[in-house]
Amino acid sequence: MDPDFSRLDEFLDDGGLDGYAFHDDDSNSDLYYVAGFGAPDPFFAVYTPEQTGVLVSSLEYGRASKEARADVVARHSDYDLRAKREEYGPQEAKDRVLAEFVADLGCESLAVGGRFPVGVADALRDHGVAVESDDDNVVQDIRATKTEEEVEHVREAQRANEAAMARAEELIRGADREDGVLVREDGEPLTSEYVQQEIEIELLRHGCALDDTIVAGGPQAADAHERGSGPLPADDPIIVDIFPRNKDSKYHSDMTRTFANGDPGDAHRERYEVTREAFEAALDAIEPGVTGEDVNQAVVDVFDDHDYPSIFTDPETESGFIHSTGHGVGLDVHEMPSISRGGDELRPGHVITIEPGLYEPGEGGVRIEDIVVVTEDGYENLTDYEISLT
């Protein structure tokens, strides 16, 4: 992948800054996106319009030399770290190495993101480097618009997601019902933990990984991010939310379905049908130029028409629609743009979720979620999975 960093160049030029710096591990998707490299321990990287440099330990040097999207790959030992330790002590030695590396890249001033360590920023300032915070989140904004290659990465993760969802549905719909709970073929209760385990196994078979799948039924499903535990209830809706990350590309997908084995009752059925209506209204609203707030409002309007509260009409409500309509997906499972109040204008290449839901404490909840990419004339749904409660 060869990202377009012209907007980052413009940001640096407008701010009179020489480069953009990162100091983190591979959990920082901005760093991975710019450097094309990740490591389990923090490392240092600097982007400039002329070159990108990466400073790593000797342990990571070989891999960084092969994998990093960098013009310069250096080791701490290249800057006599050991000798500096003896002369200045361990912390000052590290600080001097960073400052010399920055100087070698021709930088006297740097922008940094919100996750940049304060101590490192202060140390650079102490050694004559001007460091300014990027309040515009420019790298995150650039990442929000996906290339065709990135969309294919999401699509691949989504195919794995659908295979895992099929396994979860098979277990839930195929279970027997005894004494109000679902039962496996071996007579043991079908638990959230068992379904979660089977989801994770299926994802691994498709090159993806996930540690926190949501399989929550009955009253547990009234909490939108409750992971779920214990025997799954018969009749009541069961929310299954899967958001895997492809182990090779590192891109995510995200999908939710709600299943019921038995008769969920009129109240749950109504919530499901209204949620489906809100889901379709949100999809109908998607096109370039509309805002995330516009799409979110389409959902709120449907719920309002059916007399269901939302946090957007009643911020204190604990029932009804208690979260936003969606979010961007890519290297992070939650990233820009926001499909909520205050959400920015949608652009072609934005990959977003649409996930309305309704919840009732003490009873349960329902949620439906697809992942789509905004196109020049609307959107393409990357999800190919049936929507059905029973």
Q: Over range 180-202, report the average pLDDT.
A: 97
Place of tokens 């399989």: 215
More confident residue, 26 or 380: 380
Q: What confidence category does residue 1 fall into, taking pLDDT thresholds of 50, 70 and 90?
A: confident
Pick the closest to residue 358 from 388, 315, 317, 329 (CA basis).
317
* Over residues 110-136, mean pLDDT: 96
Joined tokens for residue 100: 């010399």
CA angle 93, 99, 104 (to 5 degrees): 125
pLDDT at 211 over 90: no
Average pLDDT, the chain: 97
Cβ(168)–Cβ(200) under 8 Å?
A: no
pLDDT of residue 96: 97
Convert the pLDDT of each residue in 64-122 to its tens digit: 999 999 999 999 999 999 999 999 999 999 999 999 999 999 999 999 999 999 999 99
**What tens digit of pLDDT does each residue of 144-155 get?**
999 999 999 999
For residue range 246-293, what is the model confidence (pLDDT) as tens digits? 999 999 999 999 999 999 999 999 999 999 999 999 999 999 999 999
DSSP-based three-state secondary structure for 37: coil
pLDDT at 237: 98
Closest CA to 1 of 278, 272, 331, 324: 331
Long-range contacts of 51-55 (CB under 8 A, 24+ apart): 51/105, 53/101, 53/104, 53/105, 55/97, 55/98, 55/101
Q: Model pTM?
A: 0.95
Question: Strand, helix or coil at 244?
Answer: coil
- 2 pLDDT band, cuts 50/70/90, is confident
Residue 43 pLDDT grade (very low, low, confident, very high; cuts 50, 70, 90)? very high
Q: Is the previous residue joined to 337 through a cis bond, with omega within 30 degrees of 0? A: yes
pLDDT reading at 188 higher than 90? yes
With tokens 């204190």, the residue in question is 316
Check residue 218 and give its pLDDT.
96
| Burial state string for 353-364 with b = 16 or more CB within 10 A and e = fewer than 16 | bbbbbbbbeebb
pLDDT interval class at 217 (50, 70, 90)? very high
Rounded to whole angstroms, the Cα distance separating 256 from 279 reads 12
The domains found in the chain, sorted by start residue, are: 6-143 (3.40.350.10), 145-381 (3.90.230.10)
